[in-house]
Amino acid sequence: MQTEIIAIKTKGDKLQDIALVKIGGKGVFVKEIEEALLRGDIHIAVHSMKDVPVELPDDLEIGAVPKREDSRDVLVSKDNRKIEELRKGARIGTGSLRRTIQLQNLLPDVEIVPIRGNLDTRIKKIVTEDLDGVIVAAAGMRRMGLISEISQYIPVEWMIPSAGQGVLGIELRKNDKETKDLVAFMNHLDTVIELSAERTFLKHLGGGCQVPIGAICKKQDDRLILRGLLGSVDGSVIISDEVRGSSEDAEKIGREMAENILARGGRAIL
């Protein structure tokens, strides 16, 4: 069977000098690709699930979810320093509100420098912007063969990832059974279950990237551990929670954690 890869440059890829919250949130990375799917220009779309809105167009669905890559954030730093070794007032680059508030919680004197762009661009800004380091997703670094550039894998206890981080989603048209059957072999059940808990949490909060939100679920045997947080934009308030339960209750666990956080001040933030 022959396949063809069609590269689609989205609004999010083109407008790299503008914060995501100002151009429509993470959904700007998928809209044009979904439009190509709906037109029939392509059969499948491959997304990073952390960029996919919780509400999909009516005629589209996620047909397969491959096994998750490393979900953690990583530090790429000058002189290969770790977070605990950074100088006072260190300049760290990130375009993520979620990473910003959690890093400021770890290092109150850190200076956050807003950056966007692909991985190579962000890493080069350590030199061009005179940064002490940048924080990016481990999954992207590993997939791009840049593992040797990683200075530190940041534990999820220090920095909760974005919901769906490290997960790819194969999106297709609901009525395209032939294509769905072709990609079904890639579906990884444990990852599907973890992703369901995280995205249910996100959906129940009504969250995109206008406020800092993080969620990470781990399946251990038949049990799930879901950690999450919601923060104010300035980082003055961070509400975190952890819920455990059966792997059969992924959506229930996601809703429970959202309700816990909403009841503890989340509604005021949102």
Catalytic residues, by residue number, are 51
**Rounded distance between C-alpha atoms, residue 185 and residue 253, angstroms:** 27
Please give the Cα distance from 165 to 188 (Å, whole number). 15
The CA-based angle 43-63-185, given to 5 degrees, is 100
* Spatial CA neighbour of 230 closest among 163, 179, 172: 163
What are the start-end ranges of the E strands in 81-209? 91-93, 111-113, 133-137, 152-154, 168-173
Q: Rounded to an integer, what distance in angstroms lies between the CA atom of residue 174 and that of residue 44?
A: 11
Q: At what angle do helices 250-261 and 189-205 cross, to 10 degrees?
A: 30
